[in-house]
Structure 1
């Protein structure tokens, strides 16, 4: 396989890994639309219809960012950076299970804060390899910061539904 074929295969692999995490989280969100509609939300909360498109863009940017890092450094020379990316994907997928599956506001908030820290660390690590990869992660950092505030507020407004 030539260099171009290896790059395409890598791109497809990183998209598959990234969107697998999205799929795992989405499984917990099967009934999310009805549950989200029942929740008292802060006035600044977006409608439920916003989340799917936003996350689709974010997962696409994440996959492109990690592929950029992998393409430059490879698995052998950037194992911790790439592992950090995978760990934050796992924590990302867990949030939906905590919030929508278990309906635990406290656990979902703790997960969101941990996710924010991991995404920030991943963004910094990516930036050090290639600034463009870090830039591609910045919307994700911003959205997860927003998600922390939204998770906290929604949990506090719904103690009967979110523990």
Structure 2
């Protein structure tokens, strides 16, 4: 990795954090709703989500930056897949919190996981560190899947 290119780095981080901000604005009140939901074992308090997501969006932005400045021929395709996963990511909270579509949001989360896994693979082929920066995101999505599935099952049987 060469010298840091600050403008592309900041833009990349802002795009990523902006996705989270947009999702948060579209789902205002979601943490209040979270407090009313069934909490399976290991469910964190509501304040954990914005902290974790801020960290994850920051890592995504750094990863995308590393791919962007790599000069690799596959950069454009990798960043298109990255953009697709950002879009899918931004829509999940709408499905879950605004539409109460727990089944569909779980399926959507599986799609998101697949897109992030594909993004991580594409990023890794261009820049191994960029791919590794997405590992915490993948782990968090597994945990989010556990929570989403728990809410789905609880609502089906109660």
TM-score normalized with structure 2 length: 0.91
Unaligned runs of 5+ in 1: none
* 1:112 equivalent in alignment to 2:109: yes
- Greater than 2 Å deviation, 4+ residue runs: 158-161
Q: Find the counterpart in structure 2 of residue 31 from structure 1.
A: 29
In structure 2, list runs of 5 or more residues that go unmatched: none
How much has 1:116 moved relative to structure 2?
0.4
1:128 to 125, 130, 134: 125
Aligned position for 1:140: 137
Deviation at 1:110, TM superposition (A): 1.1
What CA RMSD, in Å, does the superposition of the two structures yield over aligned residues?
2.1
Judging by fraction of residues, say which structure has more helix.
1
1:93 to 90, 94, 97: 90
Q: State the partner residue of 2:80.
A: 83
Q: What is the number of equivalent residue pairs in this alignment?
A: 157
Distance in 1 between residues matched to 2:8 and 2:87, nearest whole Å: 20
Cα 1:37/1:159, change in 2 over 3 Å: farther
1:133-155 per-residue CA deviation (whole Å, 9 max, x = no partner) reads: 11111000110111111111112
State the shift of 1:29 in Å: 2.8
Alignment counterpart, residue 153 of structure 2, candidates 151, 156, 159: 156
